[in-house]
Chain A
Amino acid sequence: MITLTVNGTRRSFDGDPTMPLLWFLRDELALTGTKYGCGVAQCGSCTVHVAGKPVRACQMLMSELQGAAVTTIEGLHPTGEHPLQVAWREIDVPQCGFCQPGQIMQAAGLLQRKPKPSDEDIDAAMNGHICRCGTYPRIRAAIKAAAEKSS
């Protein structure tokens, strides 16, 4: 039995220990904001925070998560008003929207580490994420807007 907390709630799991966190979140907890895009840490759609840091949920096995604290997009902010979420809406970033929870979770990790990220910081932090709609320029603008507001 593996126990962990997800968005502050205690959860347990006694299934296949090789199951990635992604499928536990999606299939067992119905927290479907965390998306499956590639399964091999190439696209970033499944990004969540473990111990406050962005990780790819498709690469975290349940067996590694005993006692872990996981935050998903649903738990990023109690009313969905994290500065990044607000900036994302003000700039109308999403097109199809599918990759955006992962992008936001990654950007949240970046701002925690670097409240005033440079263009290079943003490129380095966000380059592991794919958006096929091509919202990158707006993502960059939204991260900067959120950083500006948070200061």
Chain B
Amino acid sequence: MSANEFLPWVRRAVAPQAAAEKPTPLDATQEITDRPQDLQRRTLIQLLGLGGLVIAFGPGGLRRLEAAELAAGIAADPWSPHVYVRVAEDGIVTIVCHRSEMGQGIRTTMPMIIADEMEADWARCRVEQAVGDPKYGSQNTDGSTSIRDFLQKYREAGATTRTLLETAAARDWDVGAADVFARQHEVVHRPTGRTKSFGALVNTARTVAMPAPTSVRIKRPDERRWQGKKMPSIDLVPMTTGTAVYGADLTLPGMKFAAIARPPVWGGKALTVDDTEARKVPGVERIVRIPETPIPGAFLPLGGVAVIAKNTWAAFRGRDALKVTWDAGQNGSHDSKTYKAVLEASIRAPGKPGRTNGDVAATLAAAKRKVSAEYHVPYLSHAQMEPMAAIARVQDGKVEAWAPTQSPNDARNTIAEYLKVDKANVTVNVTLLGGAFGRKSKPDFICEAAYLARETGAPVRVQWSREDDMRHSYYHAVAAHRFEAALDDAGKVTAWLHRSAYPSISATFAPNLAGPTPDELTNGASDVPWDVPNMSVEVCPAVAHARIGWYRSVNAIHHGFAIGSFVDELAHAAGKDPAAFLLELIGADRKVDLSKGGLVSAGDTYYGAPWADHPLDTARARRVVESVLQRSGWGTRLPRGRGRGIAIHRSFLSYVAMVVEVEVSPDGMVRVPRATVAVDAGYVANPDRAKSQMEGALIMGMSNTLYSAITFAEGKVQQSNYSDYGVTRMRASPHVVDVHVVESEGLPGGIGEPGVPPSGAAIANAIFAATGVRVRELPVGRQLDGWEVMASDKGRAVAG
């Protein structure tokens, strides 16, 4: 395939280009003719044909349904006023969730918004998981887009349904539309108080003309029942009883199990394969070669040698018994140690500017006080708890897959392209995702299952081991940052030079890229909310030697760490309290449309939204900082070995400030007893989920900052499992995470990602406050060993 075909997907990877996959307009009038129940019924019937054990995205969450339940589910002919909504004559409302559930709670929040607007009784609502189909609008669950792109659509879907039911009641009673209103699954005639249930109105509602979208009334804030309030997850019972269905939890009749030996180096190939020992493993049935995909490879499988077996254990054992010699290809000498020097050299020369204000060079040259620093962030792996797993079946030219995918349409399109079948013949079912964080946006693992199902003629479940997952991911980019700043006599920043170098995600889709584009800086680097007259924010070249992909908050991970750390260093250089300095750096309240000034290359949109809708609003930045200062005990004394750090970052159109308190033990181990977070994400539909996303973002930020690193030697990933890729565990994790979700009716921003970027800097700044050790290279790892000695040495040096 040509790289250009994949460019639309590349363009989604970074902020300003996120609009490339525009949601299909969901015009309700269009959808009345669209009968999702037909597809659903066909699927259910097929599944019944398989013995009824397989899949169910039904009541009480995603779980197995009994055959009888399935049969009952297809008996009625529900009314479908909208692609997301069906109402059956028994009153059961089915809401089709088109986004993937990976912990952010969308399977609850999306239906809750619709049910609220339609005045449905939550207990009589069911949630069905959509297959991949463009009719639902974008299903690509990344970029923290579910609510910020769809809130209005969900409200309209609910309100349209409510309006149609009200109109149906008015017609049945022959009364004026103004005299009826919907209330909890029935329509009430105001003058007489008589009521008619939603189910009883279905048949009349079928004949009512669609209202114009503009005539549909969205609820006023005071009319909302659940939006903006805590709503527990609909999947709690399956998730706590072991019946929730993830990628590896379905079994098709006759299904085979596959494990794959993949090229250890990106772009490598199998030269020789000796499968003698593998074939001797009990339960191993076949060995299948999967062609290697040349670089860049995009969403396609890496290729390699698959072992097909009777169960997962046999497949794993067989795979381990393969003797494969590999040609490493062009990346066989990639080494993290030498690459660090390459990135360092890159950031020490001018790059391509993404933002220019005033004259940085002249200001720096004339400055009396200059501060500079460099930071390094390693490759990271998502290391989501569920390793890749997917099931596929190929029958009569039709491909059906079941997978924990963030993007069932990308999966469908990629399978179609990979197997050279019409995508009309490809169905992708979405299971729950056992963590995703961007890894499961890429359907390479689903294509593997589809390929092997076709080659073997049997349904196949591909199971990645944890080692496979660690060594064949799409890694978060390794990055280097350099800053130079000028301070005036009052300790104010007068010049800000920021250069970064990191391999671009685009290199996964297009060959021979020299590095990122300045547009990528709008993911939280060129759009910082600072009041500095002279700024230059630049990207420098960096060639990719590994598959690079987006990982929760993407480039904002390293942008946020480096920027937030440098601000803290400046505060100390200026002799000021870091929080006071931060507020001064944010400066006076102002709203700035960045596309109209400063940004050299602004792109058409900002995180997929119009620039004008999301100006840089420094009052929002200031308020989240003030919120965490007030609630965290900032400024109060802490014992030796404890300290607080502060950072603020804006990404995915949301503002997040954090004060993190760390406790560093004498042997250099870091715990976070307490953290205070404030998030202004505009309107928040499910605040408790927003809180849990902030808790999780902080704890993932702890992993990124304290423990995790992927390194390469001879082109191969050196880590294998959680034993050598450290992540946050219970003992280090916070006892208190105090999250303030700002109440707002403003345009919604992201929630899933923006908590990650400030966390790294807040932790590193807290470590500095606790120990005097400045962390400029992640992860912290063992850098704090002997910190008490280092701190006292430093104390002596200062005193002397």
Contact = CB atoms under 8 A, between A and B. Distances in A.
A97 B244 contact: yes
B435 interface: yes
Contact of B386 (A18, A72, A85, A98): A98
Contacts of A127: 729-731
Interface residues of A, number: 60
B242 A74 contact: yes
B462 to A, nearest CB: 13
A134 B282 contact: no
In terms of DSSP, what is the predominant structure of the interface of chain B?
loop
Interface string A91-131: 01011111111001000000000000001001110111111
A31 B64 CA distance: 12
Interface residues of B, number: 71
A52 interface: no
Contact of B723 (A40, A94, A97): A40
Nearest to B728: A134
Contacts of A23: 311-313
Given A122-B730, A132-B383, A27 B311 contact: yes
Contacts of A131: 385
A96 B313 contact: no
Contacts of B104: 95
Nearest to B689: A92
Interface stretch (B157-165, B231-239, B610-618): B231-239
Most buried by A among B233, B240, B434, B697: B240
A98 B385 contact: yes
Contact of B696 (A38, A124, A135): A135
A33 B241 contact: yes
Interface stretch (B87-95, B246-254, B481-489, B518-526): B246-254
Interface in B594-633: none
Contacts of A97: 103, 235, 238-240, 244, 432, 434
Interface string A64-82: 0000000011101000100
B434 A38 contact: no
Contact of B312 (A26, A89, A98, A124): A26
Interface string B272-309: 00000000001100000000000000000000000000
Contacts of A136: 699, 728-730, 733-734
Interface string B713-740: 0000000011100011111011111000
A37 B382 CA distance: 13
Interface of A: 15-16, 18-20, 23, 26-28, 30-40, 42-43, 45, 72-74, 76, 80, 85, 88-89, 92, 94-101, 104, 119, 122-124, 126-140
Interface of B: 53, 101-105, 230, 232-233, 235-246, 248-249, 251, 257, 282-283, 311-314, 316-317, 382-387, 432-437, 463, 465-466, 688, 692-693, 695-700, 703, 721-723, 727-731, 733-737
9 contacts: A16-B282, A23-B311, A39-B316, A73-B241, A89-B237, A92-B692, A96-B385, A96-B386, A131-B385
Closest 10 CB pairs of A and B: A33-B242, A134-B699, A98-B434, A95-B103, A97-B239, A73-B242, A134-B696, A96-B103, A136-B733, A32-B249
Given A96-B436, A97-B239, 20 more contacts: A33-B243, A36-B312, A39-B316, A40-B722, A42-B722, A89-B237, A89-B240, A94-B240, A96-B101, A96-B432, A98-B385, A98-B434, A99-B385, A99-B434, A129-B730, A132-B385, A133-B385, A136-B699, A136-B728, A137-B735
